[in-house]
Amino acid sequence: MHRDIHTDRWTAVCQLDDIVPNTGVCALLNGAQVAVFHVDDSGPRVFAIDNYDPHSQASVLSRGLVGSLGERIVVASPIYKQHFDLQTGECLESAAHSVGTYPARVADGKVWVAL
């Protein structure tokens, strides 16, 4: 569920080194809580999804466990353990509870997210 956005609205969130590899942080961007993940499998990559977990109705996804299920890179919600695909936002257990995604990139050692 990729947001229909203008990709010229990039915001620097933090330094890439501020996010421990294979974990996430929460950023407040234009009033929205965004979970930003640093995945270091075949080189550093970043992903951004909504921080709000629709199952538990809490803003906790940035604190979930990052891993993989098959070829998919996922975060498991820290409350009820549903898995969310970091590339698509799809909830693997219940597609109806998928979350939004945002473009994310690394440039000049910083993590950038577009809203």
Q: Is the pLDDT of residue 2 over 50?
A: no
Biggest alpha carbon–alpha carbon distance for the chain = 37
Query: Structure tokens of 74?
Result: 């996922």
Q: Are 51 and 33 in contact (CB under 8 A)?
A: yes
* pLDDT-derived band at 79, boundaries 50, 70, 90: very high
CATH fold for the domain made of 10-114: Rieske Iron-sulfur Protein (2.102.10)
Distance CA 3, CA 73 (A): 19
Q: What is the pLDDT of residues 14-68, one digit of tens each?
A: 999 999 999 999 999 999 999 999 999 877 899 999 999 999 999 999 999 999 9
49 or 3, greater pLDDT = 49
3-state SS assignment for residue 72 = strand
Domain chopping of the chain, boundaries: 10-114
Distance CA 22, CA 39 (A): 5
